[in-house]
Structures are given as C-alpha cells and as structure tokens.
C-alpha cells in the first residue's frame, strides 16, 4: 500500500479513532482489608469508582457503609475470587500486626500474615491492571528482608512489574510521623511510573485540633501534674508522646497513631487525649466523614487506617500508568 493510499484509508477513520480514544470511563477499584476507607477516599478524589470492599471488622464495615453506600463483605479467606467484580486497580492494606515493631514481628509465622496469600488468590483470578498495597515500615525489614522479597517474587510470578518504597506522612502535608511501606504493581510495566516526591507543606497542628473539645477527653489532674513535672515543651500546641520506658517528648505533630495503644500515650499539650475527629484529621480524612461508632472504635480504626494524602499521591501516579496503557490499547485497536 502506498503512503498516499494509507493516508486516505486512515483519514476515513480519523473521527472514529478520536472518538474511541476520547471515551474515558472511571477506573474501577476493589478495596481489601479496607478498614474505614482511606483508600476509597483517595481513589474517589481521583474520580475512580469502588465496586467491592472487604474487611472482617464489623465496626469498620459500619463506618465504610455509612460513608460510601455499600457494605464490605467479611473474612477474605471465605471470599470466592470468581465472585469479585472485574476491576482496574486493587488496593489492600493487609494486616500489619505480624510485621509491626509494636508486635513480635512474626511475619508469615503469624496466621494474620498468611492472609496475603488469600489476597494473592484473588489477584491471580481477577488480574487487575495494577495493585497498590500498604503495610508498616517494618515489612521491608521483617525476617531480614525475606518477607517482602517473598511478596514481590509472588507478584512477579503472577505477571506484575513491582516496586516498593517507604513513605512518611509528614512529607505529604499531614502532621503525623507515620512511615509506611507502599508496594505498587502493574501488568504493563512501571517504566512510566515515578514515586511521588512529597515535599508538601505540613498542615499546622492548630488547624487539626478542635477549639472546644469535649471535657471527657481531658486527663485527670494527677496525670496532668505528673506529665507537667516530667516534661517542658519547646512548642505550643504540641502532642506529647510517652514511650514504653516512660520517657516523654513533644512535637508540633503527632507520633504514629496506634490501634491498641493507651488513650494517654498521646496527649495534646500534655493535658488531654485526641478527639475522634482529630484522629481522623491526622489521617487525612475530611470533616465530612461520618462517625457512626464509639470513640474507642474510632481510635482503633484510625490507628489501622492508611493516610489519605499519602496513598492518593501514589494512586494518582499508578492511575496515570493504567490510563496510558488503556489509551495505547484503544489506539492500536482503532487503527
């Protein structure tokens, strides 16, 4: 075929090709070990559509349903992969306790650690274009690095190009020092993927703290006096942190929120606990997020949640990889 004939032939279909490429449906995502929906908020902010979620905790299910309109299913080990809807990207904040510095760091020796393999079964069956996984910083060093290498190897065997990086919420505008391991994977490769660099100015703590907190969050005078005698802060407002050894430090940001820690290990200005709304704000959740469970449950659930701005920055980069691949595929099909 001559160049002239080729131009005439393709010219007839130029409008069709452009129409095909311009159709941009929202990417669909699934949300495993979804908790109260940090991944969902981040993906929703980027115009994506949630089609399935799973979490075994009924209180997390209550919060998720109240905010997103559908209820997560329960135990992932009982989910039949073929029953999961087709989707473009899979998110999962699989249980961190087996790898956490707070626990015994038993990794895959802990039954909760093996839940990753239940997730892998679903990934193998559904083969989403991309995946984004989140876990504690210690995942990268658990069992001298063998745990994460096993995870990456298993994902590569399925067909994914994978990478991981430890990101800190402090670098993404959130006043909380929270380092987490993020794993990304793509079936079309990661040559076009770049990790977000952070560098976002931190939101001042005073914008996170409530101006008129409920009196019930204030500690007793005995605890307050003990703290005041033991520590003098350099900045105000600040969040005081007491470690297991009883040493107290204070910063213009929070140390990492924890699901099972004492209410008193973090104190605002040494005198009160964080309110439920404040803990949500420290994870990047909007004030429009509905609270439908007890204060204790909010504390537990936010301690297990992902930091919205952190995962949103990553998801945006992954979303671009998926969309570029889809456009390339449509272009080839249309041509």
CATH of the domain at 312: 3.40.50.150
Q: What is the pLDDT of residues 90-134, one digit of tens each?
A: 999 987 554 444 445 444 454 444 788 899 999 999 999 999 999
Same domain, 155 and 232: no
Same domain, 230 and 115: no
Same domain, 260 and 307: no
**pTM exceeding the 0.85 threshold for the entire prediction:** yes
Same domain, 226 and 325: no
Same domain, 83 and 145: yes
Domain-located, residue 257: yes
Instruction: Identify the domain containing residue 313 by its residue range.
Output: 26-201+303-329
Number of structural domains the chain divides into: 2
The token pair at 244 is 């297991």
Active site residues: 96
Domain-located, residue 281: no
Q: What is the pLDDT of residues 280-323, one digit of tens each?
A: 999 999 999 999 999 999 999 999 999 999 999 999 999 999 99
Mean pLDDT of 244-254: 93
Q: What is the pLDDT of residues 27-70, one digit of tens each?
A: 999 999 999 999 999 999 999 999 999 999 999 999 999 999 99
Same domain, 165 and 219: no
Question: Quick one: pLDDT at residue 95?
Answer: 78
Question: Quick one: pLDDT at residue 264?
Answer: 82
Same domain, 68 and 159: yes
Domain-located, residue 264: yes
Q: What is the pLDDT of residues 209-230, one digit of tens each?
A: 999 999 999 999 999 999 999 9
Question: Quick one: pLDDT at residue 315?
Answer: 98
The whole-angstrom separation of Cα 177 and Cα 190 is: 28
Domain-located, residue 17: no
Model confidence band, residue 331 (pLDDT cutoffs 50, 70, 90): low
Domain-located, residue 9: no
Residue 14 CB-half CA count within 13 A: 6
Same domain, 249 and 180: no
- Give me the phi and psi of 73, to 5 degrees please: -80, 170
* Strand arrangement, sheet containing 266-268: 248-251, 239-242, 266-268
Q: What is the pLDDT of residues 144-176, one digit of tens each?
A: 888 899 999 999 999 999 999 999 999 999 999
Least trusted range by pLDDT, from 3-17, 35-49, 71-85, 164-178? 3-17
Residue 166 CB-half CA count within 13 A: 10
Q: Among all chains, which residue has been given the structure tokens 């008129």? A: 212
Domain-located, residue 309: yes
Same domain, 145 and 46: yes
Same domain, 243 and 177: no
Mean pLDDT of 138-145: 86
Domain-located, residue 335: no
Question: Quick one: pLDDT at residue 106?
Answer: 47
Question: Quick one: pLDDT at residue 58?
Answer: 97
Instruction: List 142's β-bridge partners, or say none.
Output: none
Identify the CA nearest to 53 among candidates 29, 78, 86, 24: 29
Domain-located, residue 3: no
Same domain, 190 and 218: no
Model confidence band, residue 333 (pLDDT cutoffs 50, 70, 90): low
C-alpha dihedral, 90 to 288 to 282 to 30, nearest 10°: -10
Question: Distance from CA of residue 67 to its chain's centroid?
Answer: 16
Same domain, 64 and 132: yes
Model confidence band, residue 262 (pLDDT cutoffs 50, 70, 90): confident
Share of the chain above pLDDT 90, in %: 75
pLDDT, the chain, mean: 88
The token pair at 63 is 């919060």
């Amino acid at each position: 075929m001559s160049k002239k004939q080729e131009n005439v032939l393709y010219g007839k279909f130029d409008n069709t090709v452009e129409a095909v490429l311009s159709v941009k449906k929202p990417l669909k995502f699934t949300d495993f070990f979804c908790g109260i929906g940090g991944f969902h908020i981040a993906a929703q902010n980027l115009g994506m559509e949630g089609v399935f979620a799973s979490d075994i905790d009924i209180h997390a299910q209550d919060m998720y349903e109240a905010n997103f309109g559908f209820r997560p299913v329960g135990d992932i080990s009982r989910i039949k992969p073929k029953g999961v809807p087709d989707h473009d990207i899979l998110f999962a904040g699989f249980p961190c306790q087996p790898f956490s510095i707070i626990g015994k760091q038993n990794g895959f020796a802990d039954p909760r650690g093996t839940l990753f393999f239940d997730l892998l079964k679903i990934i193998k069956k559904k083969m989403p274009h991309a995946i984004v996984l989140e876990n504690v910083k210690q995942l990268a060093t658990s069992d001298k690095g063998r745990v994460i290498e096993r995870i990456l190897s298993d994902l590569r065997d399925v067909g994914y190009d994978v990478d991981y990086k430890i990101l800190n919420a402090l670098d993404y505008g959130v006043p909380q020092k929270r380092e987490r391991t993020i794993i990304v994977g793509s079936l079309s490769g990661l040559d076009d993927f770049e990790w977000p660099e952070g560098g976002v100015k931190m939101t001042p703590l005073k914008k996170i703290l409530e101006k008129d907190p409920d009196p019930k969050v204030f500690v007793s005078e005995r605890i307050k006096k003990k703290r005041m005698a033991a520590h003098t802060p350099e900045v105000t407002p600040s969040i005081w942190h007491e470690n297991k050894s009883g040493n107290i430090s204070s910063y213009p940001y929070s140390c990492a929120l924890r699901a099972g820690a004492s209410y008193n290990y973090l104190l605002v200005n040494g005198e009160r606990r964080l309110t439920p709304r404040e803990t949500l704000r420290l994870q990047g959740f909007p004030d429009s997020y509905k609270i439908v469970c007890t204060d204790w449950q909010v504390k537990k659930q936010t301690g297990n949640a992902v930091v919205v701005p952190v995962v949103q920055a990553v998801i945006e980069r992954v979303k671009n990889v998926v969309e570029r691949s889809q456009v390339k595929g449509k272009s080839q099909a249309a041509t």
